[in-house]
Structure 1
């Protein structure tokens, strides 16, 4: 299968879908962290090793809820990957779109809270090196590092 490269217009059309998915994923992650911390606290308080075969596991229901949250999150991540974009950071809501600018492979870079894609970076760079689409577009003759 050929690698998908997005035009800026194609990438921006995905933003409403991605916004919803990333917001759901962040909410699931937060819920998971809260419930996991509570489960750890209870296990330390009551001792996880004190469960016998005669008694019902007091942690089973909480562990099942955590597993269900993980399944939901994996489903969202799968849908995001099916869109052929790269989820880079759940907490930041960071998504990269493979693209080409003047013949060079780059990523369009979008972060939750931005209304559209306004930045890009080279494939070997990350979020902190992103550049404004309005300013610094690579030229076709620009030499890439290592060339």
Structure 2
């Protein structure tokens, strides 16, 4: 599958559509982590087997839902970076080079970007891109 490059405007429009999915992914992730951490032992082997089967069934169902949703977001051009903080990157192009537009679930708009080969620690304000684009026009 080819990368989907989005303009700033396209990525911001997509935010309203993907936000419920990101929230759902965050919730599923928390439940998966919780389920994986729970260990219950029974004296009766039958009860232990019944519990373990049901737990694994729930884990697999949630994992399936999680990866289906993650794949759907990926095909829309979203790169989920951190589910604990709800961080998502969008592939974009600027001045002939690939960049990543950064968004966090707590933000209304995309506020930062970074070079595709850089990293989130090198992110810069998106207002910088807007100023450069205005000068180029």
How large is the RMSD of aligned CA atoms in angstroms? 2.5
Structure 1 residues not aligned, in runs of 5+: 141-147
Contact kept, 8 Å, 2:4 with 2:75, in 1: the verdict is no
- Aligned counterparts of 2:97 and 2:26: Cα–Cα separation in 1: 32
Matches within 5 A, 1:1-147: 3-38=3-38, 41-42=39-40, 45-46=41-42, 51=45, 55=46, 57-58=49-50, 59-135=52-128
Structure having the higher Rg: 1
- Post-superposition CA distance 1:38-73 (Å, at most 9, x none): 2xx21xx448xx84xxx4722111111111110110
Residue-pair matches, total: 131
> Going by fraction, where is helix more abundant, 1 or 2?
2
Contact kept, 8 Å, 2:4 with 2:76, in 1: the verdict is no
- Aligned counterparts of 2:117 and 2:79: Cα–Cα separation in 1: 14
Partner secondary structure for residue 98 of structure 2 = strand
Seen in structure 2, the aligned counterparts of structure 1 residues 26 and 3 have a Cα distance that, compared at 3 Å, is: closer
Structure 2 residues not aligned, in runs of 5+: none
- Post-superposition CA distance 1:106-137 (Å, at most 9, x none): 11111111101111100112222210011367
- Aligned counterparts of 2:111 and 2:101: Cα–Cα separation in 1: 8
